[in-house]
Amino acid sequence: MYPILHAIGLGPQLAELERICAEAKAGKHANGDLASIPAEVHVDKAGSHIDRWLMVGHDAETGASHLIHAAARLLMAAAKDAAK
């Protein structure tokens, strides 16, 4: 799947997604709490990032697009949902 995502032009976004996830894991979520958050909370946080993208575009803390943050949260929600 990863080569397909690159082939359709998502390489830079995937790299950015990986970077912000690594920063979160090393920083404010270093205690592993992201794995224990319910899917519904991740979806709510994704919605907040979409709203912030509409207002300001990029996250001041990470420099990443709020859309990438939203994508990360939605992927975590999907993982939680699949684990049910």
pLDDT band at 1 (very low <50, low <70, confident <90, very high): low
Mean pLDDT, rounded, of the chain: 88
User: Whole-model pTM?
Assistant: 0.85
Q: What's the pLDDT at 3?
A: 86
Q: What's the pLDDT at 75?
A: 92
CA angle 10, 27, 41 (to 5 degrees): 70
Q: What's the pLDDT at 42?
A: 94
Indicate the residue type of 42.
Answer: H
Q: Which residues in 1-84 belong to E strands, given as ranges?
A: none
- Given a cut of 80, whether residue 32 has pLDDT beyond it is no
